[in-house]
Amino acid sequence: MIGFECSCKKGCHKAPVDNYIIESGTIKKLSSIVKNYSSVFIVCDKNTYNAAGKYAEETLKNEGKLSGILILSEKPLPNYETIGNILVHVTDTSADSDIFNYSPLPDLILAVGSGTINDSCRLVSYRLGIPYGIVGTAPSMDGYLSAGSPILFDNTKKTIKCTTPRFFIADTDIMKNAPLDMLFAGIGDMFGKYTGILDWELARDYHGDYFCQKIADDVIRVTNACLENGYKIKERCAETIGNIAEGFAVTGLGMAYTGNSRPASGAEHIVAHAWELEDINEGKTPNLHGLEVCEATRLIADMYLMLHDQTDDKHLKTLIEKYQPYFEKIEQFCSEMEIFSPVKDPERIKNSIMKALGMRDRYTILFYLNDRDLLEKYAEKAAYNLVKRL
Ligand SMILES: [Zn+2]
Ligand SMILES: [Zn+2]
């Protein structure tokens, strides 16, 4: 359990996380991290097996702690098939089956991977009541330490409340070898924190929502490090990879501490989610989450800047001005680094903003504009502005 006392309304923040370690070569600490467990079941896929799963398998086998390993097929999705697959295989083969008790289970699930593997293991772990830990293999999304799992079911994708992993191992030597588009996706997901935190401030001032200054400041600090060092990502700079992993850890813990996803996401995530759902409904494989979040961040940032120029509300102007330099730096970064933007049709972009309003009952700039009958006008302008910049 980690946490701290805080001056916000909650008074103190706690999360059921034992530790998270972000450094080069940290996979070597696996033995000591799992020292209190006796039977560990590993879940990975073919790629993550090569990246870290094999090492974990050998280490745990040598120590007599390996209860089994499941190697999923390439590019699994967080759906019935993957979750069922884990559920069918997870067992401790050395334990006796006892019809008067529950079936033999390991005392830890070790997820080796990123999005899908982490989300699926989290759900299985929560449902079975056994803890899990994660060895991250790519700095591609912000959900490592989150307590919810976005799962594809009933023809849609919904986040199911679970709990956090007990530990997060981020070995920058492993993560830096992830495909380049996953590295860009990671940094893009972090950029979304600027609009996410601004939406959170907006919700505090115009909707009376709970807000924690300390957590918001921490998220902005780690996001700044990603933005400043991001230019070195093409060279797979370990320091930059560490910045992104730190960003994910801090925002993930922020979510656990506040009990909601405000520290990680605002309107940009809801718009990205709309795009993802559209692809799923059309039977297409969704784009990388972080790339969609990055594009949606530029869209929402532009809507804020338009609002800044058109509003007479001094407080709101000051609020937006705090974030304006970040928004300008993101634009510069995306154009210089030629970040791939998956959605290019302005009508689709506009419609998804309108759709995003009804997707989540969370106060963001979308609600602010809608309450003033400005949303459609802003959505259309921002969509066409964005497409010109892509
Ligand atoms: Zn607080
Ligand atoms: Zn995200």
Nearest bound ligand to the CA of residue 211: 1
The ligand with the least distance to the CA atom of 8 is 1
Angle at 119 between CA 93 and CA 174, to 5 degrees: 85
Mean pLDDT confidence for 200-209:
98
Which ligand ends up closest to the CA of 189? 2
C-alpha distances in Å from residue 18, one per residue of 59, 183, 286, 294, 347? 21, 26, 33, 31, 46
Which of 129, 155, 175 is the last residue before a domain boundary? Answer: 175
Residue 170 lies in a domain: yes
In a domain, 255, yes or no: no
Residues 118, 206 within the same domain: no
Interval between CA 223 and ligand 2 midpoint (Å): 13
Last residue of one domain, picked from the residues 152, 175, 198 = 175
Q: Which ligand is nearest to the CA of 213?
A: 1
- C-alpha of residue 313 to centroid of ligand 2, in Å: 30
Which of residues 130, 158, 175 is at a domain's end? 175
* pLDDT value for 74: 81
- Gap from CA of 98 to ligand 1 centroid (Å): 46
Which bound ligand lies closest to the C-alpha atom of 218?
Answer: 1
Residue with tokens 């019809």: 99
Ligand nearest to the CA of 215: 1
Q: Tell me how far the alpha carbon of residue 216 lies from the centroid of ligand 1, in angstroms.
A: 9
Residues 207 and 332 both lie in one domain = yes
> Domain for residue 38, yes or no?
yes
CA dihedral (95, 97, 102, 108) in degrees, to 10, reads: 20
Report the separation in Å between the CA atom of 6 and the middle of ligand 1, taken as the mean of its atom positions: 5
Q: What is the pLDDT of residues 314-327, one digit of tens each?
A: 999 999 999 999 99
pLDDT over 90 percentage in the chain: 86
Average pLDDT over residues 6-21: 95
Closest ligand to the CA of 212: 1
In a domain, 222, yes or no: no
Give the ligand with the smallest distance to the CA of 12: 1
pLDDT in tens, 369-385: 999 999 999 999 999 99
Query: 278 alpha carbon to ligand 2 midpoint, in Å?
Result: 17
Clarify whether residues 200 and 94 are in a common domain: no
Q: Distance from the CA of 265 to the center of ligand 2, in angstroms?
A: 7
Q: Is 151 helix (H, G, I), strand (E, B) or coil?
A: strand
Q: According to the model, what pLDDT value does residue 128 have?
A: 95
Cα 115 to averaged position of ligand 2 atoms, centre (Å): 10
Number of compact structural domains in the chain? 2
Looking at the structure, do residues 105 and 195 belong to the same domain, yes or no? no
**pLDDT given for residue 312 in this prediction:** 97
Give me ligand 2 centre to Cα 253, in Å: 14
How many other C-beta atoms can be found within 10 angstroms of the C-beta atom of residue 317? Answer: 13
Half-sphere exposure for 55 (CA within 13 Å, toward CB): 17
Q: Are residues 140 and 196 in the same domain?
A: no
CB 91, CB 41: distance < 8 Å:
yes
DSSP codes, 22-71: EETTGGGGHHHHTTT-S-EEEEEEHHHIIIIIHHHHHHHHHTT-EEEEEE
CA of 259 to the centre of ligand 1 (A): 11
Residue 220 placed within a domain: no
Q: Which ligand is nearest to the CA of 252?
A: 2
Q: Collapsing DSSP states into helix, strand and coil, what is residue 350? A: helix
296 with 316, same domain? yes
Q: Can you give the CATH number for the domain in which 196 is found? A: 1.20.1090.10
Q: Please indicate, yes or no, whether residues 168 and 184 belong to a single structural domain of this protein.
A: no
User: CA 240, 245, 250, 255 torsion: positive or negative?
Assistant: positive
Per-residue burial over 223-240, b if 16 or more Cβ lie within 10 Å, else e, is: bbbbbebbeebeeebbeb
Residue 17's closest CA among 119, 127, 113, 133? 133
Distance CA 70, CA 187 (A): 30
Q: Which domain holds residue 41?
A: 2-175
- Distance from the CA of 210 to the center of ligand 1, in angstroms? 10
Summarize the confidence of residues 260-264 as an average pLDDT.
Answer: 94
- Ligand 2 centroid – CA 264 distance (Å): 7
**pLDDT, averaged across the chain:** 94
Cα 10 to ligand 1 centre (Å): 6
Instruction: Please give the pLDDT value at position 94.
Output: 82
Structure tokens at 374: 């400005």
- Asked whether residue 308 is assigned to any structural domain, the reply reads yes
Using one digit for the tens of pLDDT, what is the confidence trace for 88-120?
999 888 887 777 877 789 999 999 999 899 999
Mean pLDDT calculated for residue range 49-56: 97
For 128-180, the pLDDT digits (tens) are 999 999 999 999 888 899 889 999 988 888 889 999 999 999 999 999 999 99
β-pairing verdict for 12-15 and 2-5:
antiparallel
**Ligand 2 centroid – CA 180 distance (Å):** 17
For 129, 241, 306, 329, 367, the CA distances from 166, given in Å and listed in that order, are 13, 22, 43, 35, 36
Spacing, Cα 269 to ligand 2 middle (Å): 6
Same domain as 140, residue 267: no
Whether residue 243 lies inside any domain: the answer is no
CATH of the domain at 27: 3.40.50.1970
End-to-end CA distance of the chain: 44
One domain, residues 207 and 113: no
What's the gap in Å between 7 CA and the centre of ligand 1? 6
81 with 102, same domain: the answer is yes
* Mean pLDDT across 302-329: 98
Which residues lie closer than 8 Å to 342 by C-beta, 6 or more apart? 275, 287, 291, 292, 295
Report if residue 233 sits inside a domain: no
Same domain, 283 and 197: yes
- Residues 246-260 have pLDDT tens digits of 999 999 999 999 989
Q: Are residues 281 and 297 in the same domain?
A: yes
- 43 is written with which tokens? 């879940």
Q: Rounded to the nearest whole angstrom, what is the distance from the C-alpha of residue 364 to the centroid of ligand 1?
A: 20
The CA 257 to ligand 1 mean position distance, Å, reads 8
Whether the per-residue pLDDT at 331 is higher than 80: the answer is: yes
Judge contact between 45 and 73, C-beta under 8 A. yes
Give pLDDT, residue 20: 93
